[in-house]
Amino acid sequence: MVICPSTAGRSVPKPPAVHAPSASEARQPRLGEILLLGSLTAFGAVTIDLYLPTLPAIARDYGTSAAAVQLTLSTFFVGMALGQLFFGPLSDRIGRKPTILIGCVVYVVASLFCALAPTIEALVAGRFFQALGCCAAMVTCRAIVRDRYDHRDSARIFSLLMLVLAIAPLLAPTIGGWIAAVAGWHAVFYAFVVVGIAIGAAVALRLAESRSSETAAAARGLNVLAGYALLIRHRRLIGYLLVGAANGATLFSYIAASPDLVINVWGFSEGQFGLVFAVIAVGIVGSSQINRALLRRRSPDTILGFATVGAAVAGLALAIAAHADAPLPVLFPLLFVALSSNGLIAANASAGALNVDPLRAGAISGLMGGVNFGVGALASAFGAAMHDGTARPLALNVAVALLVAVTAYHALAKPR
């Protein structure tokens, strides 16, 4: 279904979404295409995870507190949320490729500024603009997938891209630690300069423009705010956005709560914490590949309907078990199942949202990213406010988020 603007006294005909391939035209992506799209998807994750081991050294060099250095992370998330709302519609208006290249230029300049930042305040500002640069690639990548693939196949591609995305949290912190140990934390930001140049060169040389003339015409017909106002009137789009954001909030909550919960409450060592984190990541990636297999026989909405119900049941069971002070062998499997549902839900919710109006895939992608980061930040803050030294706050956060997801899908997004 395509959303079209209307004017007083007359209606504007719906433009055909001719740029999205039909199921009969769907093709298998080439390895090079998957690697390039995966690099764009993982751009933000790499920029976060690669520099995490440098935080103590940054605090020492600037003579500041750990809390002040943490602002470089929170400011980055703010830049990611705001930047996607801007670059998504821009990619509809000027094209996917120019938008990514603009983002790469911003990213390279910001990374160089961070490497040379004289104060912690300057570094915080540099991280904001670094986030703006890399989010241009991330938000545009989702639109490119929808440009090239239909509803079912875009869900398959999103699941496949999670394999590439999973490499970042598994390898980037270790690589960042090596770079910092050999050459200091400034070298990590010089490495970001190289990454930005490499991605920009790959996009310039290897990425074909996928935006259609129909998308360009639709973008020119509305300003950004009017376009967003038009989109949020659509019930199914709101449903898909809430499903994706609520399910993603479980991961935001876990990431924020896991260091204290795993180390201080469950008694794992710092080294074992990385192993626990990896187990959850493997669960999410594994379920995303199960999703790819299921999509050969089932529609994204069918999978989404069952997955949201199953995730909500797991979330409720987790909350009940945590409230009853159940032991770790009971709590962790329930947490694993609840968080692993992201692999079955995220790709299908993204594909569903982008299918609501393929002519505004960039704007929808920007809205999706902004809502995801906003809801995730609220969930993390809510969990921090409820902190009581047990697993109960995290379990309650996860249960509430998954109940919101199942309600949003069956009440709003589910095709009627």
| Res 17: pLDDT | 40
Report the alpha-carbon distance of residue 29 to residue 57 in Å, rounded. 42
Report the alpha-carbon distance of residue 239 to residue 153 in Å, rounded. 21
Q: Are 401 and 270 found together in one domain?
A: yes
Q: Are 41 and 134 found together in one domain?
A: yes
> What is the total count of domains within the chain?
2
Residue 17 lies in a domain: no
Q: Are 335 and 354 found together in one domain?
A: yes
| Res 261: pLDDT | 84
Q: Give the pLDDT confidence of 150-201 residue by residue, as tens digits.
A: 888 888 888 888 777 777 766 777 788 888 888 999 999 999 999 999 999 9
Residue 352 lies in a domain: yes
Q: Give the pLDDT confidence of 269-321 residue by residue, as tens digits.
A: 866 777 787 788 889 889 989 998 999 899 999 999 999 999 999 999 999 99
User: Which residues are within 8 A (CB) of 227 and not within 5 positions of it... i.e. 6 or more apart?
Assistant: 89, 219, 360, 363
Q: Are 151 and 55 found together in one domain?
A: yes
Q: Give the pLDDT confidence of 45-68 residue by residue, as tens digits.
A: 889 878 878 888 888 899 988 778
Q: Are 83 and 136 in contact (CB under 8 A)?
A: yes
Portion of the chain with pLDDT greater than 90, in percent: 41
Tokens of 304: 């989404």
Q: Are 94 and 37 in contact (CB under 8 A)?
A: no
Residue 140 lies in a domain: yes
Domain end among 176, 193, 221: 221
Give 293: exposed, middle or buried? Use CB within 10 Å, 0-12, 13-18, 19+: exposed
Q: Are 121 and 44 found together in one domain?
A: yes
Residue 18 lies in a domain: no
Other C-beta atoms lying within 10 Å of the C-beta of residue 248: 23
Plot region of 9 (φ>0 → left; ψ -120 to 50 → alpha; else → beta): left
Residue 14 predicted with pLDDT over 50: no
Other C-beta atoms lying within 10 Å of the C-beta of residue 307: 27
Across residues 7-14, what is the average pLDDT?
37
Report the alpha-carbon distance of residue 317 to residue 232 in Å, rounded. 33
Q: Are 235 and 384 found together in one domain?
A: yes
Residue (of 325, 191, 304, 314) closest to 250 by Cα position: 314
User: Which residues are within 8 A (CB) of 221 and not within 5 positions of it... i.e. 6 or more apart?
Assistant: 5
Rounded to 5°, angle at Cα 156 from 243 and 101? 85
User: Which residues are within 8 A (CB) of 183 and not within 5 positions of it... i.e. 6 or more apart?
Assistant: none
The pLDDT mean for the chain works out to: 85
Higher pLDDT: 42 or 102? It is 102
Q: Are 72 and 137 found together in one domain?
A: yes
Return phi, psi of residue 327, to 5°.
-70, 165
Return phi, psi of residue 301, to 5°.
-70, -35
Tokens of 303: 């999978």
Residue 29 predicted with pLDDT over 80: no
Q: Are 304 and 342 in contact (CB under 8 A)?
A: no
- CATH number of the domain residue 61 falls in: 1.20.1250.20
Run of H or E residues at 134: helix 120-148
Q: Are 317 and 260 found together in one domain?
A: yes
Rounded to 5°, angle at Cα 189 from 183 and 191? 75
Provide the sign of the torsion angle of the four alpha carbons 387, 389, 395, 398, taken in this order: positive
Residue 19 lies in a domain: no
Q: Are 191 and 76 found together in one domain?
A: yes
Run of H or E residues at 52: none
Q: Give the pLDDT confidence of 312-356 residue by residue, as tens digits.
A: 999 999 999 999 999 999 999 999 999 999 999 999 999 999 888
Provide the sign of the torsion angle of the four alpha carbons 366, 370, 372, 373, taken in this order: positive
Domain end among 221, 243, 260: 221
Q: Are 268 and 205 found together in one domain?
A: no
Domain end among 173, 204, 221: 221
Report the alpha-carbon distance of residue 120 to residue 71 in Å, rounded. 9
Residue 193 lies in a domain: yes
Secondary structure class of 316 (helix, strand, coil): helix
Say what the pTM is.
Answer: 0.78
Give 28's pLDDT tier (boundaries 50, 70, 90): low
Domain extent for 299: 230-413
| Res 16: pLDDT | 39
Residue 49 lies in a domain: yes
Residue 383 lies in a domain: yes
**What is the chain's alpha carbon radius of gyration, rounded to the nearest angstrom?**
21
Q: Are 65 and 145 found together in one domain?
A: yes
Report the alpha-carbon distance of residue 167 to residue 10 in Å, rounded. 52
Q: Are 310 and 402 found together in one domain?
A: yes
Residue 20 predicted with pLDDT over 60: no
Provide the sign of the torsion angle of the four alpha carbons 233, 235, 238, 240, taken in this order: negative
